[in-house]
Chain A
Amino acid sequence: MTSTDRPPVLILGARSDIGLACAHAFAAAGHPIMLAARGVSSLEADRADIALRHGVIVTCHEYDALAPDSAAFLDSLPALPGVAVIAVGLMGEQAENERDAGRAALVMRSNFEGPALIMGELAVRFAARGHGTLVGISSVAGERGRATNYVYGAAKAGFTAFLSGLRNRLAKRGVHVVTVLPGFVATRMTEGLDLPAKLTAQPDEVARAIVRAVEAGRDVVYVRPVWRLIMAVIRAIPEGIFKKLSL
């Protein structure tokens, strides 16, 4: 293990495929890693793997995105990270979200409330320190509500708006906010869905794009550029037509 002058990176939602891939990508660039997730003890093998492969210090921290007290969680960390990536998310089943208010609330809270609150708390601390980078993994599903997944999409839309506002607020205070819109990604969340290969990124591709975006100080990142075009078209369709489409 070597110590480095790279700032530690906090991965919130480290059990997700994108979260884990981000941990590897930042560790490969020499950053110490803090893995935060629910049931974090199940990540012990990944902790060991990241530390062995990349020769950095990796620690595990119990974290529940829906727990009310994010300040207490941040206080429990060994240090305030230099970069925080939030990879928490829950897609749910649209049909179930329509029927069951409890399920819908869980999707809304997991994709918006939890991520936004911890980002807000981190923002206060980063701003007080005068530097830091916040990375929020949102979704192209938040760009326009569609019949097939608007509960998830609406929560992501809220998160995207939150990140945009946060970036605007912190821009003059040395804190940078990156919004990541990955498009389709081959993960546990999308397993079993029939995704078009050309539009589907691998988790490590998303992670490398995030590391580059953090290093270059970019604001909004579409992992595969084609998604910028696709979403521009989807946003441009007049509502009168859009409502009759099945997308």
Chain B
Amino acid sequence: MTGTAELSGWGCYPKVATRLCAPRGEVALRDALAANGAVIARGNGRAYGDSAVSPGTTLDMRRFNRMLSFDESTGVLVAESGVLLGDVIAAFLPRGWFPHVTPGTKFVSLGGAVAADVHGKNHHKEGSFGRYVEWIELMGPDGDVIRCSPRDNAELFAWTLGGMGLTGVIVRAAIRLRRVESGWIRQSTLAADGLDAALAIFEETQDATYSVAWIDCLAHGPSLGRSLVMLGEHARLDDLDQRQRASPFETPRRAARKVPLDFPGWALNGFSVSLFNDLYYSRGKARAREAMARESLTDWDSYFYPLDGLLEWNRIYGKRGFTQFQCVLPLSASRDGLRALLETISAEGQASFLAVLKRMGTQDSAMSFPMEGYTLALDFPVSRPALALQERLDAIVIDHGGRFYLAKDARMTRETLAASDPRAARLAAMREVQGLARTFRSAQSERLGL
């Protein structure tokens, strides 16, 4: 099936005119590669910007949605690349398995998770998604499918993790799941009244499996960087009450709600966000105080995927869409860099509904986003002042030796990428040498000169 469409990523910005093709299998995929000049594979469209939209043909991979085998002794699942992480959880959590690494949405495809080498709340301790990928099968520009792993075609494997689909079309992957005793998470929240306190909490809680902070980007002065740090552990059977223990994988099902229509642009102005942040922080702090050491049990769905409960939440930013700014700063420059970023953001009073701070662990990859240090992610509605602000933030990140997450990027310049990430030029050169550059092209790769 082929048609033309205006397509964008999760942020609804930018919108790109593309041909859409949804192959039904490997033969059809090969035909689509042979027939078209520039292609890029697209999973479930959760990358925020233009990573999974091609100026030529966008390959909708959602029909590659079958699970092929599972080994109970090793926890290795083989599945086609269009299978969603949520499908994996639905099938395997009842049997005591959970993904090792999950991003903030379960609606991501396995192919997308590999291509962006996504990370989760456990990155500081357990690394990114790619660490649990046994192998992938990749279709090259000639239509041949080759298996890549840390042993076979290791270089191609390494570039494909975080390579944003620019090394070929991922058709299958083998991923290792982890054993869990329940579908519950033991959660605790710690309040930090400023940036230094937040960083101190992260450094002291390195042993926690999951940690992430909600950060108030509008607070300034002594409250700059005030945060709620949320820690989590998979609950063991012993952590559950008798009723939960009887069926440890049955957690209350959340009714998904849909955002009914695009919100008008004024719905998220600086004032409403600052009000929300004040309320959220005070409530969280009060709870943290009364329950400082006490943990609470949260179901996996609410813990890992709070926003998935609100389907199409991206539409609250209105028709013009939004961008997400996500950078990571090296550990040594994190404190200064974060302070500079937060001061710039709060001085501007630019609204960001969702801002997330997280400690990242070491990562030694060809192209993956994480590095040891701190990552900050925040949303901006698309507007001229917000785009200008993000360019100022770009400069601060570059000054502090940080880099940017391609799965979120929708607007960076190629100069910014080159200045922040010397690996980008190596990826571009590798693509040229291997004959991939002509075939695998996204709107993002064109913009960034990858």
Contact = CB atoms under 8 A, between A and B. Distances in A.
Contacts of A52: 67-70, 91
A46 interface: yes
Contacts of B95: 55
Nearest to B70: A52
A150 to B, nearest CB: 27
A48 B68 contact: yes
Contacts of A198: none
Contacts of B24: 188
A45 interface: yes
A101 B66 CA distance: 39
Interface centre among A46, A52, A53, A192 (most CB of B within 10 A): A52
B311 interface: no
Given A52-B91, A53-B91, A192 B66 contact: no
Given A52-B91, A53-B90, A191 B69 contact: no
Nearest to B78: A48
Contacts of A54: 91
B180 to A, nearest CB: 17
A49 interface: yes
A45 B1 contact: no
Contact of A53 (B1, B69, B80, B87): B87
B410 to A, nearest CB: 29
Interface in B44-91: 65-70, 80, 87, 90-91
A192 B21 CA distance: 12
Contacts of A188: 24
Grouping DSSP codes into helix (H, G, I), strand (E, B) and loop, the A interface class, with mixed when no group exceeds half, is helix
A192 B67 contact: no
Interface residues on A, range: 10 to 19
Contacts of B66: 45-46, 48-49
A55 B90 CA distance: 11
Given A52-B91, A53-B90, A191 B70 contact: no
B385 to A, nearest CB: 38
A98 to B, nearest CB: 27
A226 to B, nearest CB: 22
B91 to A, nearest CB: 5
Interface in B147-174: none
Interface string A39-56: 000000110110011110
B67 A48 contact: yes
Interface in B1-35: 1, 24
Interface of B: 1, 24, 65-70, 80, 87, 90-91, 94-95
28 contacts: A45-B66, A45-B68, A45-B80, A46-B66, A48-B66, A48-B67, A48-B68, A48-B69, A49-B65, A49-B66, A49-B67, A49-B68, A52-B67, A52-B68, A52-B69, A52-B70, A52-B91, A53-B67, A53-B87, A53-B90, A53-B91, A54-B91, A55-B91, A55-B94, A55-B95, A188-B24, A191-B1, A192-B1
Given A52-B68, A192-B1, 19 more contacts: A45-B80, A46-B66, A48-B66, A48-B67, A48-B69, A49-B65, A49-B66, A49-B67, A52-B67, A52-B70, A53-B87, A53-B90, A53-B91, A54-B91, A55-B91, A55-B94, A55-B95, A188-B24, A191-B1
